[in-house]
């Protein structure tokens, strides 16, 4: 049996500054690391809070930015100014991903690539040496609560057989019912949104998810 070594990363998706402040305060009370999601209404159909909204927070927890946005290079200075430690951008959203990575390095940011469920991992292979991680989307991006695409687990396991030393993550559709199966793929990070923040007690939900994978066989 593969050892379970994943961590749970709360993923905050907010459509307005008031909701953002509420979710950020919750996350700050229990999470050592957080992901904020940003959407432009172009790459994905929905819009969200902006990097300026996050910059306005007095947020004391290290965080990364998941940019579900077209032309991600345009947002990198704002990522830096808002305090992001790392940015993750979608390969599908960047015609010239090498340029995005180069600009991010100039801004002092760590970099991860994200792949939509239908994108084969071979599309990211030429860039693996230039980034810190690869994030596999297990839902079609843009909303909390979209259906989990289970075939992504096979994609992750296929990738990890070939590239076992690359840090990987998964984002979308994670619940108590599937998190242990997800963790057994060997992903480093499991990003969780609605299964934490749409529950009556988000802190307890976070701890329950973490206990499931840390206590699993």
What amino acid positions are annotated as catalytic residues?
A: 37, 171
Tokens representing 78 are 């704002």
What structural domains and CATH numbers belong to the chain?
A: 7-214 (3.20.20.70)
CA distance 123 to 125: 6
Per residue in 152-202, pLDDT (tens digit) is 999 999 999 999 999 999 999 999 999 999 999 999 999 999 999 999 999
pTM for the structure as a whole: 0.94
Cα angle, residue 2 at apex, residues 85 and 138 outer, rounded to 5°: 50
pLDDT band at 1 (very low <50, low <70, confident <90, very high): very low
Per residue in 114-155, pLDDT (tens digit) is 999 999 999 999 999 999 999 999 998 866 667 899 999 999
């Amino acid at each position: 049996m593969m050892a379970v070594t994943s961590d749970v990363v709360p993923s905050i998706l907010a459509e307005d500054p008031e909701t953002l402040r509420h979710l950020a305060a919750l996350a700050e009370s229990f999470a050592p690391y957080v992901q904020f999601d940003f959407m432009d209404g172009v790459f994905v159909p929905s819009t969200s809070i902006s990097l300026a909204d996050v910059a306005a927070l007095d947020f004391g927890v290290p965080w990364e930015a998941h940019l579900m946005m077209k032309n991600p290079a345009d947002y990198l200075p704002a990522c830096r100014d808002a305090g992001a430690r790392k940015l993750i951008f979608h390969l599908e959203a960047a015609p010239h991903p090498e340029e995005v990575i180069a600009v991010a390095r100039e801004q002092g940011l760590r970099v991860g690539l994200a792949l939509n469920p239908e994108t084969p991992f071979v599309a990211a292979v030429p860039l693996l040496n230039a980034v810190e991680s690869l994030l596999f989307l297990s839902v079609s991006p843009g909303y909390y609560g979209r259906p989990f695409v289970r075939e992504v687990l096979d994609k992750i396991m296929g990738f990890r057989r070939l590239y076992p030393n690359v840090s990987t993550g998964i984002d979308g559709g994670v619940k108590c019912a599937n998190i242990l199966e997800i963790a057994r793929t060997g992903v480093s990070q499991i990003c969780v949104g609605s299964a934490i923040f749409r529950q009556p007690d988000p802190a307890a939900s976070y701890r329950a998810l973490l206990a499931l994978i840390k206590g699993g066989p």
